[in-house]
Amino acid sequence: MFKTRITEMFGIEYPIIGGAMMHLALDGYAAAVSEAGGLGVLASANYKEMGPFRDALKRVKAKTDKPFAVNLNFFPALNQIDNNLYLDVMIEEGVKIVESSGHKAPEELIGRIKGAGMKLIHKCVGVRYAKKAESIGVDAITVVGYENGGATGQLDITTLCLVPRVVDNVRLPVIGGGGVADGRGLAAVLALGAEGVIVGTPLLLAEETPLHPSIKQKLCEASELDTRLVLRSLGNTHRVWKNETSDKVAELEAAGKGLEDLLPLISGMIVKEKFQQASDGGLLACGQGIGLCREVRPMREIIQDLARQAEDCMQRLNRLLPRLPGAGQITH
C-alpha cells in the first residue's frame, strides 16, 4: 500500500492524479480515474455555461463516491469565464478538492476556496512559482517537467531536475510529472521526493477517455520522437502529438504568423471536433512518454498497473541494497 501526504490528504488509494486534459477530462474520465484508486480531475473549462457544468459534477458523483477534484483554468483564453462562477457551483455541489493551473497562483480565490473547506492543489512550472503558491496557503504543489504533454511553460527544465528542486524549496507535499507513463516513472518521481504523480499521456489510451478509437490506435504506434512544441510564439508553449495539424502550426510560427493565422488550427471548437473524428487528432496534448504506451485498456487496468509496477521497482531496488545490520530499506 502507498501512504504519502497526498494519499492521506485526499483520501485516495494510489498517489496518482489524472491530468485535466482539455476536451477529454469530462465526467466519465474523472470518475474512472477516481474509481480506479487515483484522483480524477474534471476540467471546468470544458463547460462554458454553469448549467452543463453543474450537470457534469452531478454525473461524476453518480458514477463514483470516491474523491475527485475540479480544475480551475487561469491560462489566457479568448472567451475567459470568471472562475468565481465555477466556484459558486462547486461549493453548492460539495466539491472538496480544487486544482488550479495557469500563469499565476489564484490569490483572488484562495479566501473563498479555503473558506469553503476545500483543499487546493496549484500546478506550476518552477521553484519561484511554487514558493509563491505556498505563501498564499495552497495545500499541495504540482510541477511538471519539459517532457510533459500540454502546457510546459517557458523554462524547459526536465522532470529529473525540476521535482527535487521544488521539493527542496517548499514544505508542502509535491506532486511531480512530465514523461511519466508507467510504474517506473511513478517510482522515479517518488524517489525524487515527490509524494504523488500526475499522469495524462498514458490515460489517452484509456477506454473511458473520449478520444476517437482510431486516434488511440495511432497513438499506440507512436514513439518518444512523435511530439513537438508549439505556441511558443504566443507565450503559451505546449507539447503536442506530432501530426499534420501540429506540423502546420509549427510552420506558421516559423514564418512569423500570429494568432489570427493560427486560430483556424488551434481554436477550442476545432480541436474538440477533431478529437471525435477519425482524423489526425488535431492539436492533441501528448508527452514524450507516449512511446511507452502500447495498448488501449480500461482506466482501472492502467492506474493499477502503474501502482503495481512501481511497487515492483521499489522491491527490486531494495534487493540491490547490502543486508548490513541496521540497514534500512526503501519503503512506500
- Could you identify the residue written with the cell 510504474? 183
Is 202 in the same domain as 218?
no
DSSP 237: -
Whether residue 225 is contained in a domain is answered as: yes
Whether residue 332 is contained in a domain is answered as: no
Is 256 in the same domain as 144?
no
Is 188 in the same domain as 50?
yes
How far apart CA 54 and CA 49 sit, in angstroms, is: 9
pLDDT digits (tens, 9 = 90+) for 117-147: 999 999 998 999 999 999 999 999 999 999 9
User: Residue 325: what pLDDT?
Assistant: 62
Whether residue 282 is contained in a domain is answered as: no
Is 255 in the same domain as 167?
no
User: Residue 76: what pLDDT?
Assistant: 64
User: Residue 180: what pLDDT?
Assistant: 97
E strand or H helix that includes residue 127: helix 127-136
Is 173 in the same domain as 267?
no
pLDDT digits (tens, 9 = 90+) for 292-305: 999 999 999 999 99
Higher pLDDT, 73 or 164: 164
* Total count of domains within the chain: 2
Q: Which three cell numbers stand for residue 217?
A: 490506435
Nearest CA-CA partner of 230 in 271, 275, 183: 271
| Average pLDDT of the segment spanning 38-57 | 96
User: Residue 15: what pLDDT?
Assistant: 98
Nearest CA-CA partner of 199 in 128, 130, 147, 131: 147
User: Residue 278: what pLDDT?
Assistant: 76
Is 196 in the same domain as 243?
no
Contact (CB, 8 A) for 87 and 117:
no
pLDDT digits (tens, 9 = 90+) for 2-21: 899 999 999 999 999 999 99
Domain range for 235 is 213-275
DSSP 198: E
Distances from the Cα of 198 to the Cα of 14, 56, 78, 112, 325, angstroms: 11, 22, 27, 25, 37
Is 161 in the same domain as 200?
yes
Q: Is 329 exposed, middle or buried (0-12, 13-18, 19+ CB in 10 A)?
A: exposed
CA 81 to chain CA centroid, nearest Å: 21
Is 237 in the same domain as 103?
no
pLDDT digits (tens, 9 = 90+) for 222-256: 999 999 999 999 988 999 999 999 999 999 999 99
Is 152 in the same domain as 75?
yes
Is 306 in the same domain as 184?
yes
Is 126 in the same domain as 255?
no
| Average pLDDT of the segment spanning 44-50 | 94
CATH number for 109: 3.20.20.70
